[in-house]
């Protein structure tokens, strides 16, 4: 049986690493980029470049999603702070204002629809609970529940749908080390990624995403290829 996977490709560091993790593990990997009113088109462009390694790449615009939720990632007038906004018992300082309620719920559901339509049984997502800012929809418990829900929602011929999260328990430094291990194509893809909340590549160096990214490369003893790209 042909083993196909759908990867949620954002244009960021984690999903680019996951794409290259998935390529040797599946017969074909199909990229899905969902845009829901992010502030910056640079990340979408990065996804386009990185996604050329996939067997197919679909872009879906979800403009309506932005009108349902409020987040600093979507709302240009709101500043992105490290902390603030929603309260969560596993994030005692509060969730960052960059949290988009239900984002991974929606994205994984759409990925499951795509998977069912192309005969893929696996979704690959670059979520991580180790360095996570407290996002509840990045935790392993959510991913397990979502895989069950996606499977239940699909016809028996399309089940089970599994969700692979190779970065779930890795620190940012270990994710950098994994990308290095995956080879030159993965490393080059990392150089194309956009992490910065300002949409810059290389990043602004000041926003929480840039600080986290820089710390990961420093701890891994590597130079960020985005600075050389």
Q: CB of 213: closest distance to Zn ion in angstroms?
A: 8
Q: CB of 225: closest distance to Zn ion in angstroms?
A: 16
Q: Which of 12, 202, 203, 216 is the binder for Zn ion (CB under 5 A)?
A: 203
Q: Which of residues 139-198 bind Zn ion (CB under 5 A)?
A: 196, 198
Closer CB to Zn ion, residue 136 or residue 203? 203
Q: Answer yes or no whether residue 207 interacts with Zn ion by CB under 5 A.
A: yes
Q: CB of 193: closest distance to Zn ion in angstroms?
A: 12
Cα–Cα distance measured from residue 134 to residue 95, given in angstroms and rounded to the nearest whole number: 6
Number of residues that bind Zn ion (CB under 5 A): 6
CB 2 within 8 A of CB 30: no
Cβ neighbours of 185 (radius 10 Å): 12
Closer CB to Zn ion, residue 102 or residue 205? 205
Q: CB of 34: closest distance to Zn ion in angstroms?
A: 22
Q: CB of 203: closest distance to Zn ion in angstroms?
A: 4
Closer CB to Zn ion, residue 162 or residue 191? 191
Closer CB to Zn ion, residue 198 or residue 222? 198
Q: Compute the half-sphere exposure of residue 59: CA atoms within 13 Å on the CB side of its CA.
A: 17
Closer CB to Zn ion, residue 153 or residue 204? 204
Stretch that binds Zn ion, among 2-10, 23-31, 33-41, 200-208 (CB under 5 A): 200-208
Q: Answer yes or no whether residue 199 interacts with Zn ion by CB under 5 A.
A: no
Q: Which of residues 88-127 bind Zn ion (CB under 5 A)?
A: none
Closer CB to Zn ion, residue 120 or residue 209? 209
Q: Which of 118, 204, 212, 214 is the binder for Zn ion (CB under 5 A)?
A: 204
**Of 208, 32, 214, which Cα lies nearest the Cα of 132?**
208
The residues with which 130 forms a beta bridge, in sequence order, are none
Cβ neighbours of 78 (radius 10 Å): 15
Q: Answer yes or no whether residue 8 interacts with Zn ion by CB under 5 A.
A: no
Q: Answer yes or no whether residue 210 interacts with Zn ion by CB under 5 A.
A: yes
Binding residues for Zn ion (CB under 5 A): 196, 198, 203-204, 207, 210
């Amino acid at each position: 049986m042909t083993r196909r996977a759908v990867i949620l490709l954002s244009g960021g560091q984690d999903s680019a690493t996951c794409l290259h993790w998935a390529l040797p593990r599946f017969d074909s990997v199909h990229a899905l980029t969902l845009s829901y009113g992010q502030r910056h088109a640079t990340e979408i462009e990065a996804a386009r470049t990185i996604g050329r390694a996939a067997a197919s790449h679909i872009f879906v615009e979800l403009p309506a999603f932005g009108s349902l939720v409020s987040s600093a990632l979507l709302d240009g007038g709101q500043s992105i702070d490290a902390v603030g906004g929603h309260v969560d018992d596993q994030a005692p300082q509060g969730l960052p204002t960059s949290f988009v309620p239900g984002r991974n719920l929606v994205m994984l559901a759409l990925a499951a629809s795509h998977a069912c339509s192309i005969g893929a049984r696996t979704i690959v997502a670059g979520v991580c609970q180790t360095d996570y800012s407290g996002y509840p929809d990045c935790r392993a418990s959510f991913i397990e529940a979502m895989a069950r829900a996606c499977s239940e929602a699909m016809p028996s011929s399309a089940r089970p749908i599994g969700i692979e999260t190779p970065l779930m328990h890795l620190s940012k430094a270990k994710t950098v080390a994994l990308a290095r291990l995956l080879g030159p194509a993965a490393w080059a893809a990392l150089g194309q990624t956009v992490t910065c909340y300002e949409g810059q590549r290389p990043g602004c160096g000041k926003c929480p995403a840039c600080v986290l990214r820089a710390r990961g490369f420093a701890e891994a003893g590597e130079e960020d290829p985005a600075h050389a790209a």
